[in-house]
Structure 1
Amino acid sequence: MIRLHHVPFSRSFRILWLLEEMGLSADLTLYSITDGSLRAGEFKAISPAGRVPALEIDGITIYESAAIVEYLTETRPEHGLGRLPGDPERVQFLEWLGFAETQAAALQSLNMHHLFMGDPTPASPVTLKLEAARLGATLKALEGKLDRQEWLLSSGFSAADTMLGFNLFAAPYYVHLDRFPNVQAYMKRIEARPAYQRARALDGEQEFYKKDFYEVPNG
């Protein structure tokens, strides 16, 4: 049995998508960011920080996206989605896993300030402007990389794309993508993948974003 603890349109989508790329079906246990279910003791026994994803597989439970990605790709190398020790792209693969989390941290901060910190703790325009700039800087770096190749690794699609690619569908709520044509083309390639489409169909409706774009107030 494979069970994925999941919040729709959250970081756990990375794992849902990767499982689909591997042809592995998982039972989904769904949670909400806003109903307190992630803070319940039962879930914290699975994921101590009260965060998704958490994956039950092979008789163990793993939390943290990058750890799950490494475990899945190293225990199932036949899918060719990881880069094992000794592979010339191993370091790049690991760097992109880390880069994905750097980018996600900026998104998380923007989400927290725009979506979850209302009165009496209004969002700081200075912080929002800084975090949007940080997110934009990661997109600029990605734009340059994708000018030379279709996927994050020159050899082709990998699990690094599932880690980072997920972020890009949240980024347009905070940064206009019109100045990043290579990123937009990359997103279209992602959307064309059958495994991505299957994962999105399983994902569920996102409940975070109520507007198409979040401007910096008084910015």
Structure 2
Amino acid sequence: MILLHHIPFSRSFRVLWLLEEMGLRAELKHYSITDGSLRAAEFKAISPVGRVPALEIDGITIFESPAIIEYLAETRPEHGLGRMPGDPERVAYLEWLGFGETQASILGSLNMQHLFMGDPTPASPVMMKLEAARLGATLKAMDRVLADREWLLPSGFSAADTMMGFNLFSAPYYVRLDRFPNVQAYIAQIEARPAYQKARELDGQQEFYKQDFYDVPEA
């Protein structure tokens, strides 16, 4: 049995999508960021800091999405979704795994500032503006790379692309993507993949965003 500890529209979608690309079906155990289930001792025994995803597979439990992505790619090389040691794209592949998490950390900060902070600790408009600019810079970098290729690696689709599953859900809530036509084309290609579509069907309803775009409020 494969068990994915999951919140819809979160980093755990990366794993759900990659499993679908590999033809592996996971049972989903759903959590919420608002009901205290992530802070329960039972879940912290699985994921020490109380975050999804965590994946139970092959008799082990793995937390942190980059580690899970890399484990799946390395233990299922027949799918060709990783880039193994010695592959000329190995370094670029690992860089994109790291880039995906760097970008996600900015999104996590924006989510915290816009969605979850309030009295007695109000969000900082200065920090919101800074983080939105940082997010825009990562999208600009992606747009430049995607100008001459369809996927993040020149050879084609890889597990590195699945690291963008959560990121490209959330980025349009904070940065308008019309400045990044290559990123928009990349999103359209992602959305056309059957495994992505199936993962979205399984994902569940997001509970974070209540409006289409979040402007930085006046200081």
8 Å contact from structure 2 (residues 13, 165) kept in 1: no
SS class of match (2:49): coil
* Structure 2 counterpart SS, 1:17: helix
Is structure 2 residue 81 aligned with structure 1 residue 81?
A: yes
CA contact 1:97–1:164 (8 Å) conserved in 2: no
Deviations 1:7-40 (A, max 9, x none): 0000000000000000000000000010000000
| SS of corresponding position for 2:179 | coil
Equivalent residues of 1:173, 1:214 under 8 A apart: yes
Q: Which residue pairs with 1:90 in the alignment?
A: 90
C-alpha distance in structure 2 between counterparts of 1:23 and 1:130, whole Å: 40
**Counterpart residue type for residue 39 of structure 1:** R
Deviation, structure 1 residue 164:
2.0
* Stretches (4+) displaced over 2 A: none
Equivalent residue, structure 2, for 1:132:
132
Q: What is the aligned partner in structure 1 of residue 37 from structure 2?
A: 37
Distance 2:192 2:61 in 1: 31
In the alignment, the residues of structure 2 paired with residue 29 and residue 218 of structure 1 have an alpha-carbon distance, to the nearest angstrom, of 40
> 2:81·2:159 contact (CA, 8 Å) conserved in 1?
yes
Q: Does 1:19 align with 2:19?
A: yes
Moved more, 117-126 or 54-63: 117-126
Partner of 1:73, secondary structure, is helix
Name the SS of the counterpart of 2:28 in structure 1.
strand
Structure 1, residues 113-138: CA drift from partner, whole Å, max 9, x if none?
10000122211011000000000000
Match of 1:178 in 2: 178
Unpaired runs of 5+ residues, structure 2, are: none
Asked if the contact 2:5–2:52 (Cα under 8 Å) also holds between the matched residues in 1, the reply is: yes
2 CA distance for matches of 1:165 and 1:41? 28
- Partners of 2:169 and 2:38 lie apart in 1 by 23
For normalisation by structure 1, the TM-score amounts to: 0.99
Cα displacement (A) at 1:77: 0.1
Instruction: Count how many residue pairs are aligned between Structure 1 and Structure 2.
Output: 219
Greater shift in the superposed pair: 162-171 or 23-32? 162-171
**How far apart are the structure 2 equivalents of 1:168 and 1:127?**
21
Q: Could you tell me how far apart the structure 1 residues matched to 2:97 and 2:207 are?
A: 26
Q: Is the 8 A contact 1:165 1:187 kept in 2?
A: no
Question: 2 CA distance for matches of 1:47 and 1:123?
Answer: 28
Q: CA deviation at 1:168?
A: 1.1
Corresponding residue for 2:123? 123
Within-5 A mapping of 1:92-111: 92-111=92-111
What is the aligned-residue identity percentage?
80
Query: Is the 2:11–2:165 contact (alpha carbons within 8 Å) kept by the matching residues of 1?
Result: no
Name the residue aligned to 1:47. Answer: 47
What CA RMSD, in Å, does the superposition of the two structures yield over aligned residues? Answer: 0.7
In the alignment, the residues of structure 1 paired with residue 61 and residue 205 of structure 2 have an alpha-carbon distance, to the nearest angstrom, of: 25
The correspondence of residues 135-150 of structure 1 with structure 2, limited to 5 A, is 135-150=135-150
